[in-house]
Amino acid sequence: MLALWFAAAALAAQQPAFHIVHYDLALDLPQSGKTIEGVASLTVHRLAPVDTLTLDLLDMKVSLVTEAGKRIGFSQHDGRLNIYVGGSRQDTLHVTITYAGVPTDGLIISTDSAGRWLAFGDNWPNRARHWIPSVDHPSSKATVTWTVQAPAGRRIVANGELISEREVPRPADPDGAFGSPIARTETVWRESRPIPMDVMVIAAAPLERFDLGNTACGLAELGRCVPQMVYTAPEQRSILPGAFAEADSIVTFFARTVGAFPYEKLAHLQSSTIFGGMENASAIFYADKMFRRDSVHYDIVAHETAHQWFGDAITEREWSHLWLSEGFATYFAALYTQHSRGDSAFRATMEKVRETVLKAEEVTRRPVIDTIETKLTSLLNANSYDKGGFVLHMLREELGDSAFFRGLRRYVREHRHGTALTDDLQQALEHESGRTLGPIFDEWLRRPGYPEIAVTWAHDAAANELSMTVTQSGRFGYFAFPLTVGYSDSAGLHRIRLAVPAEQAHTFRVHTADGPLASLRVDPDVTLLAKITK
Ligand SMILES: [Zn+2]
């Protein structure tokens, strides 16, 4: 996602005795007001001899729980729903939870400027628990079927493939809160690939569909092509396709770079997400005001689309490895800039990413893999996004395009529809490059800061020798890194790579051609994350 402006408490990861493999979520949405009714049918694998299934659930009051059709006991307190499933064998349970309530978060129910009722799921990082009984942690991924009833006139969009849309009667509605008996529709969507709760959502609003057609044909994991479409408020249709004209080329480029698009379709929605963009699996939500200001640019579409692989299909198993989502989305948006707009636009983007890192206070205090921070929204920072993105850039420079992208394809292939930690990425890159990357990963991801360097140089024209001294401030300790220097002499332009050791100062001597040195540039291609004083 992009941008942030709210606070939420972090909750500790649960050690799984149960694994939920499928959520069958039936929701009834009101005509007005905020009370929702739900029936969640969970398919659960029991992995340890435990007789109580504990789920995260806030705001909703549970009235009934059954297992395999039989009523069973439960209790609700402190944001937890404890379900007494009995027995202790390893087995598969079918637990159905009937509930209702007013979600205070997670499902954002509001009215737009025209007074129209809207509801948009917005679960990141752990807000699904406000409206869905769930294991609300990224280590837990499941498939989902959404069956949503709503008053006619609202379009329901959710993860996965549209299965059906039909009119349904709702006879028992004495107070009329759920609308007239005939004017309701039931929409079913099914996501056949496991996804984490933070990207499992619905939209319910008077949305109009703008078709982008079948895209990335031959590059889809499910089906031949990736159908893409944009859903907006009716009056916003005129700005389309806008940046979404590039949606085909973005998915095609990423799929060719790292492997097939992971889901059934890719929808882009105007929504009431609190983020600028939110990478819900196969249904990206963008902030309403970005549509209203016609300020959806290609780079946010590229960022959120990259998350479909990085974050959604391959999910960081622990929040401290969030850079595996945000660093990748940042770098892949930059890669798309390189692909679509050329090398100098790419260099300018990486220059901006580096500037953001060098200005960020948190980068000086904490490493990218931050196991100390407990406030999850505080992890949405320059470490996860910009430094993480720049580390990928340096790995690419270090390994070369061929080994780097082969490594990424291996990482995607091995962890697609599962979860991963940073070590998994390291192993995939090591496997494809034949290199040991532990020191690089430790230096850039497990300690704070960056090198602060000064490069002084002198050219002895008589001796044809260029000497360069690299001095490190040592503010964050000394780093070992490659430094590219470009210079031109009478023989032409040269680019050399200096292996700077982790020392306070180191001098390099290079033989030059006859005559004076015309120019010297340090890191001309923007491939080193460092504060450089020349
Ligand atoms: Zn993001």
Question: Residue 419 belongs to what domain range?
Answer: 316-445
Q: How many C-alpha atoms does 141 have within 13 Å on its Cβ side?
A: 24
Q: Using the mean position of ligand 1's atoms as its centre, give its distance from the Cα of residue 129 in Å.
A: 21
Q: Using the mean position of ligand 1's atoms as its centre, give its distance from the Cα of residue 496 in Å.
A: 35
Decide if pLDDT at 3 tops 70: no
The per-residue pLDDT for 6 is 35
The answer to whether residues 503 and 393 belong to one domain is no
Residue 498 lies in a domain: yes
SS3 percent helix, strand, coil of the chain, rounded to 5, is 25, 35, 35
The per-residue pLDDT for 15 is 58
Residue 197 lies in a domain: yes
The per-residue pLDDT for 361 is 97
Tens digits of residue pLDDT in 228-245: 999 999 999 899 999 999
Q: Using the mean position of ligand 1's atoms as its centre, give its distance from the Cα of residue 337 in Å.
A: 16
Average pLDDT over residues 37-58: 96
- The CATH number that applies at residue 102 is 2.60.40.1730
Average pLDDT over residues 269-291: 96
Decide if pLDDT at 519 tops 90: no
DSSP 490: T
The answer to whether residues 376 and 289 belong to one domain is no
Residue 464 lies in a domain: yes
Q: Using the mean position of ligand 1's atoms as its centre, give its distance from the Cα of residue 73 in Å.
A: 40
Q: Using the mean position of ligand 1's atoms as its centre, give its distance from the Cα of residue 369 in Å.
A: 16
- Confirm if 130 and 59 have CB atoms less than 8 A apart: yes
Residue 307 backbone dihedrals phi, psi, to 5 degrees: -60, -20
Tens digits of residue pLDDT in 177-227: 676 655 889 999 999 999 999 999 999 999 999 999 999 999 999 989 999
**End-of-domain residue from the set 445, 469, 492:** 445
H helix count then E strand count, the chain:
9, 29
Bridge-based pairing of strands 184-196 and 161-168 is: antiparallel
- Extract the tokens encoding 172: 């028992």
Q: Is 393 exposed, middle or buried (0-12, 13-18, 19+ CB in 10 A)?
A: buried
- The CATH number that applies at residue 267 is 3.30.2010.30
Tens digits of residue pLDDT in 472-501: 999 999 999 999 999 998 899 999 999 999
DSSP 15: P
The answer to whether residues 64 and 200 belong to one domain is yes
- Extract the tokens encoding 394: 């340096």
Written as one letter, the residue type at 176 is G
Q: Is 409 exposed, middle or buried (0-12, 13-18, 19+ CB in 10 A)?
A: middle
Q: How far apart are alpha carbons 440 and 437 in whole angstroms?
A: 5
- Compute CA 202 distance to the chain's CA centroid, rounded to the nearest angstrom: 17
Residue at token pair 């799929």: 255
CB atoms within 10 A of CB 37: 18
Q: Using the mean position of ligand 1's atoms as its centre, give its distance from the Cα of residue 329 in Å.
A: 6
Bridge-based pairing of strands 226-232 and 266-271 is: parallel
